[in-house]
Amino acid sequence: MPPQALMDVRTIDQGSVAVSREQIYEINPHRHEFALLDGIFFIDEGRRLMAGFADARPDAFWVRGHIPGRPLMPGVLMIEAAAQLVSYYVMGRPGFEGFLGFGGVERMKFRGQVVPGDRLIIVAYMKEMRGKRRNVADVQGFVGEQMVYEGTITGMVI
C-alpha cells in the first residue's frame, strides 16, 4: 500500500506554470537529454513543498531502447527528475554557491510506470536543509492520481 501522498495532486493547477524550463536553466546546469524537468507548478516556501513535472515525450532518448516495443521511463530517470526539482529549490536560495549532487537515495519504491505521452508530476518536501552539508527531501511521482514512485533523496554540495 502506498504511503500518504505529500499533497493531493488533484489540487495542482496544471495550466499554471510558475517556473518555465528556460527559468529552470538559469539555476540548474542540466542540458540536452538530461534536462528532465520541464516546469514547476509551485514552490511553497512556508511548507517547503514543491511540485513540478516531466513530460515523457515519444522522442525522448530512452524510448527507443528501454524497452523496444514497450517503452518504459527508467526508474533512475524518474529519480533524476525529482532531484532536479529539489536542486532548483536548494540552488536557487540566496547566497548558494556550487552544485547540488546526489548524496543518496533511500527507500525508493516504484509502484507504476511512466510511458511516452504521460506527464510525470513530481512532488517534493524538503525535510532537512543544512546548506552545504546535507539536503534531504521526500519525493513522490504521479501519473494522473496514481503514485508511481516514492522515496527519499539526499543532496550534497559538490
pLDDT reported for residue 23: 98
* 130 located within any domain: yes
pLDDT reading at 108 higher than 90: yes
32 is catalytic: no
Low-confidence winner among 53-57, 96-100, 104-108, 138-142 (lowest mean pLDDT): 96-100
Q: Is residue 152 part of a domain?
A: yes
pTM listed for this prediction? 0.96
Is residue 153 assigned to a domain? yes
136 inside domain: yes
- For residue 33, tell me if it sits in a domain: yes
At 31 the pLDDT is 95
In the predicted model, what is the mean pLDDT of residues 47-60?
97
Stretch 8-28: mean pLDDT: 97
Whether residue 1 is predicted with pLDDT greater than 80 in this model: the reply is: no
Residue 38 lies in a domain: yes
Assigned domain for 2 exists: no
Show the domain range for 35.
9-157
Options 35, 60, 62, 66, the catalytic residue: 66
pLDDT surpassing 90 at residue 130: no
Q: How confident is the model at residue 124 (pLDDT cuts 50, 70, 90)?
A: very high
Mean per-residue pLDDT of the chain: 95
Q: Mapped to the 3 state alphabet, what secondary structure does the chain carry?
A: CCCCCCCCHHHCCCCCCCECHHHHHHHCCCCHHHCCCCEEEEEECCCCEEEEEEECCCCCCCCCCCCCCCCCCCHHHHHHHHHHHHHHHHHCCCCCCCCEEEEEEEEEEECCCCCCCCEEEEEEEEEEECCCCCEEEEEEEEECCEEEEEEEEEEEEC
Question: In total, how many domains does the chain have?
Answer: 1
User: pLDDT of 55-97, one tens digit each?
Assistant: 999 999 999 999 999 999 999 999 999 999 999 999 999 988 8
Q: Is residue 1 part of a domain?
A: no
CATH code assigned at 108: 3.10.129.10
